Amino acid sequence: MIEILASEQASTIDTELATGAKTEQELIRLCQQGDRHSFRLLYQRYQQRVRSTLYQLCDQPLLDDLVQEVFLRAWKGLPKLRKTKYFSTWLYRISWNVATDHRRKLAKGRDRSNCGEKSYDKDELDYANDLSKVQDTPDLMHLHYQDLVQRGLNNLSFEHRAVLVLHDLEDIPQKQIANILDVPVGTVKSRLFHARNSFKKFLDQKGISL
């Protein structure tokens, strides 16, 4: 598996050139036949999305391990995937399962622990752009809001945070989120409503208006 993931060094441009000759469906079918090169191309295409999702849900120090776990499960499960056109939904569901398993392990190992307790770094969070309305010293303001976004997400329950991350950060439709989390669409809508309200209240307390 390590050699499968080793190609992360390849540039996005190289990846697009390499995958241009084959559709995603063709790549998936090749992967199902054991083609590791095709899987490396899929990894390059999706690893940043998986990393971004896990970053919002899980501990930063273990992020690399969790990303590798997602793609290890994907590699093992691909031969059984029948509806290949839903590959991205399937991969997000694996990411959700990995994050959930990780949270349960933390809960068993600590008296008070959840998947949101983590250190912060300077990784880009697109959501911060929607929060900042102040143009003075933009770099400092970005870092300030980035920290607030993370703290606001950590303030939510794991289920509410997942819906907010998938819908508002990853821009995934509600119906697809329902399939990922294996819950009714109505539940997704309800969780999203409560998550947004709680998140807004947190920001209001910090003097930030959306």
Sequence-ordered list of residues with C-beta below 8 angstroms from that of 100, at least 6 positions apart, any chain: 158
Give the pLDDT confidence score for residue 60 in this predicted structure: 72
How far apart are the C-alpha atoms of 20 and 11, rounded to whole Å? Answer: 14
185 exposed, middle or buried (CB, 10 Å; 0-12, 13-18, 19+)?
Answer: middle
The per-type count for the chain, helices as H runs and strands as E runs, is: 11, 0
Closest residue by Cα to residue 59 from 10, 103, 108, 25: 103
Tens place of pLDDT for every residue, the chain, 210 residues? Answer: 434 444 443 444 344 434 445 788 999 999 999 999 999 999 999 999 999 899 888 867 788 999 999 999 999 999 999 888 899 999 999 999 999 999 888 777 664 544 554 443 433 333 333 333 333 334 444 545 667 777 888 889 999 999 999 998 888 999 999 999 999 999 999 999 999 999 888 888 877 765
pLDDT, residue 169, reads 85
Question: Which amino acid is present at 157?
Answer: S
Sign of CA dihedral 46, 139, 202, 131: negative
Contacts for 170 with CB less than 8 Å, ≥ 6 apart:
49, 52, 53, 92
Residue-wise burial string across 114-136, b where 16 or more C-beta atoms lie within 10 A, e elsewhere: bbbebeeeeeebebbeebeeeee
Its pTM stands at: 0.69
Domains and CATH numbers, the chain: 1-116 (1.10.1740.10), 120-210 (1.10.10.10)
CA distances from 97 to 16, 70, 113, 131, 167 (A): 29, 9, 18, 29, 17
Token pair in block for residue 15: 């990846």
The predicted structure's pLDDT at residue 78 = 94
Work out the angle at residue 84's Cα, subtended by the Cα atoms of residues 99 and 74, and round it to the nearest 5 degrees.
35
